[in-house]
Amino acid sequence: MTSEEVRINVERALEEIRPFLKSDGGDISLISIEDDRHVKVQLEGACVGCSVNTMTLKSGVEMTIKRYVPQIETVLNIEK
């Protein structure tokens, strides 16, 4: 998968997740993809102070991204 294909597929994964986050007053933005294996995102809105945002990141965001791009190794939330 080329770097452009990785980016497109990560964006598709985020689009799949976004409605669930928005239903709880949150959102997510892609910050960067490093070495086509490490994704940095930023949880926004209600997700910022949510007590379960780590679970959302691992169980929701990371799993969905890895389904679209299996080579992704890590997904990190970058706080503002």
Tell me how far CA of residue 56 lies from CA of 3, 5, 43, 64, in angstroms. 25, 25, 10, 11
Asked whether 74 and 66 are in contact (CB, 8 A), the reply is no
CA dihedral for 26, 78, 29, 40, sign (positive or negative): negative
Q: Which of 18-22, 57-61, 65-69 has the lowest mean pLDDT?
A: 57-61
**Spatial distance between the Cα atoms of 5 and 70, rounded to a whole number of angstroms:** 12
Residue 55 pLDDT > 90, yes or no?
no
Which amino acid would we find at residue 49?
Answer: G
- pLDDT mean over 16-33: 94
The reply to whether the predicted model has a pTM over 0.75 is: yes
- Token code pair at residue 4: 């452009």
- Token code pair at residue 61: 């965001």
